[in-house]
Chain A
Amino acid sequence: MEIAYKKREPNLEVVNMNTKKRYDRWAIWTMLFPYASLFILFIAVPVIIAIILSFTYFNTVERPKFVGLYNYIAILTQDEVFLKYVLPNTIKFSMIVGPCGYILQFLLAWVLAQIPKWPRTIFALIFYSPSLTSGVAMTVIWKVIFAGDQFGYLNNLLLSLNIIEKPIQWLQDPDYLMTIMIIVALWGSMGIGFLAMLGGILNIDPELYEAAYIDGIKNRFQEIIYVTVPSMRPQMLFGAVMAIVNAFSSATIGVDLTGSNPTPQYVGQLMVNHIEDYGFLRYDMGYATALSVLLLLLIYCFSKLANKMFASND
């Protein structure tokens, strides 16, 4: 890490007067206050409330009633939809969109680093731009490409090539919905994490490569394994966290694409949709927040795993 990051010099307190210290404390709290208070209000407190409510029965009308671990037990033993569809779907979706998207991001960033600056900038822009369309705009496009009638581009293409005989209801058909969700999520996944990895690769000291070749590295694959990845571990970790977050945040696309919650036969049903189903449609807030807590735990476990893989050795 010595190369990419200048080691910070030990911060010696040069001026050690009492007045300065008091002033410092004032500056620290005034400058930290705006961020800290908003962070607490909109990030920390909601998470804490979620944890507390998850131990209650709460229908938004009556006061929450403490029910202990009931919600969690119910999720894990009685919720057939959760166990049969939501959990497997979530794991499948996030395992593919997370790790595969991540590897794809790294490979793309690496390939981009092999070409001169101008074309690189243009390609990077093309790969990054889908992540700009996130949310509503995205569904506008994909709904038409995968439209179920013969006006849909994919149906039209396949019909004209005589691959299929009649239009396929791509978005309503349980056989295809999950695949389409994954493709759409991967398409939009080249976000900040991707840019971070590109920045990381370009920032590696060229002398490291030279030294590695003197030490006996033979090909470009070894170069990636022994030089590129180890030298940009911090960016790899940042990219991994971003990929995980992206995989879970894009989890509403099943409902966005089909326009219904629950999705047809629950094939596109993910944790986030299940939470909304219980929270905003059935008003069982205790149950819904228990699901939220499980989701946050799941994300945390994934990130810990990434941490294990890429944490700096020093």
Chain B
Amino acid sequence: MKYQGTKINPSRFDRSQIKFFVILSLLSIFMILPILYIISTAFKPLDELFAYPPRFFVRKPTLENFRALGDIVTGLGIPLSRYIFNSILSSGLTVLLSVFISAFAAYILSKKNFKSKKLLFEINTIALMFVPVAVRIPRYLVIEKLGLLDTFMVLILPLIAMPVGVFLVKQFTDQVPDSLIEAATIDGANDFYILYKIVIPIIKPALVTVAIIAFQTSWNTAEPSTLYINDDSMRTFAFYLSAITTSTGNVVEGRGIAAAASLILFIPNLVIFILMQSRVINTMAYSGIK
């Protein structure tokens, strides 16, 4: 066979690609059906939820479920908007802080020379394997000792230190030429200035990726609200969703409400990822562990 150039990353459609399209289409149906289900169920009126046989797609879409969602919460004494506000505030702060401290740490680990540098990065790479659920109990003890129980900060602080974030940003910062930084140092710039003016513009894709990962972790998790907070007015929307699914999720009329809540939880993730996806893929090219 004569070599006719690589088929990887083709610039246009070719008939030989049809088989790949077939495989991908079949798989994507399996992947996307559950998501279509949420969307469709969220807009189903009560009689369609009860319809037998159950129909997958909604016939007469309504916003009833979203309204009912608001009503349940008033029953608990705290309005839905409060949970959503808590979620937005805590996720926003988590994103902001994790991006900054990851950029700081990555810059030092990539561009400075000091004795324990290699060791520290090694420790961080090992920490990629860290599974928070495994140490829920000692984590709880630490948070209790620090006096963070029932404070708003407990929604944020445990999530900010992300080994995977520092790892990705550090690998990306390695691409920034050292000569650029040396030149700036000779001109008398300090490290914060160099980071802000020279490094951050170059490593933006990696920081966007960290922001997305931080947002997903914070926005989706109900764990801090469940474990560390007793005061309902400080809990997040993800917690609220898990609370209503355990109380109403199994009965048929609850399904519409649960789906509506899931949709509210899912949409921001999706929108942010769609807007940023090219930068994320760009970052991932440098994600390797050497």
Contact = CB atoms under 8 A, between A and B. Distances in A.
Interface in B13-41: 13, 17, 20-21, 23-24, 27-28, 30-32, 34-35, 37-38, 41
A136 B6 CA distance: 43
A272 B136 CA distance: 10
B34 A126 contact: no
Contact of A43 (B20, B24, B163, B249): B163
Interface in B56-114: 56, 100-102, 104-105, 107-109, 112-114
B201 interface: no
A151 B252 contact: yes
Contacts of A70: none
B34 A145 contact: yes
Interface size classification for chain B:
35 or more
A202 B9 contact: yes
A109 to B, nearest CB: 10
Interface residues of A, number: 122
Nearest to A45: B142
Interface in A126-140: 126-130, 132-137, 139-140
B119 interface: no
A125 B273 contact: yes
Given A115-B17, A145-B34, A234-B290, A279 B137 contact: yes
A111 interface: yes
B274 to A, nearest CB: 7
A123 interface: yes
A42 B157 contact: yes
Interface string B107-129: 11100111000001000101111
B275 to A, nearest CB: 11
Interface string A215-242: 0001010000000100011111110011
A8 B34 CA distance: 46
B134 A209 contact: no
Interface stretch (A78-86, A95-103, A173-181, A296-304): A296-304
B249 A140 contact: yes
A144 B23 contact: no
Nearest to A123: B24
A100 to B, nearest CB: 14
B33 to A, nearest CB: 9
Given A199-B286, A220-B7, 11 more contacts: A28-B112, A115-B17, A125-B277, A127-B28, A132-B269, A153-B54, A201-B8, A206-B9, A210-B6, A213-B3, A271-B134
Q: Which 5 interchain pairs have the tightest Cβ spacing?
A: A234-B288, A199-B284, A35-B105, A38-B161, A49-B138
Interface of B: 1, 3, 5-13, 17, 20-21, 23-24, 27-28, 30-32, 34-35, 37-38, 41, 52-54, 56, 100-102, 104-105, 107-109, 112-114, 120, 124, 126-139, 141-142, 146, 157-158, 160-161, 163-164, 166, 174-175, 178, 182, 185-186, 190-192, 195, 213, 216, 220-222, 238, 241-242, 245-246, 249-250, 252, 255, 258-259, 261-262, 265-266, 269-270, 273-274, 277-278, 280-290
11 contacts: A108-B24, A113-B8, A115-B21, A126-B32, A141-B34, A195-B281, A195-B284, A200-B285, A202-B8, A210-B5, A249-B132
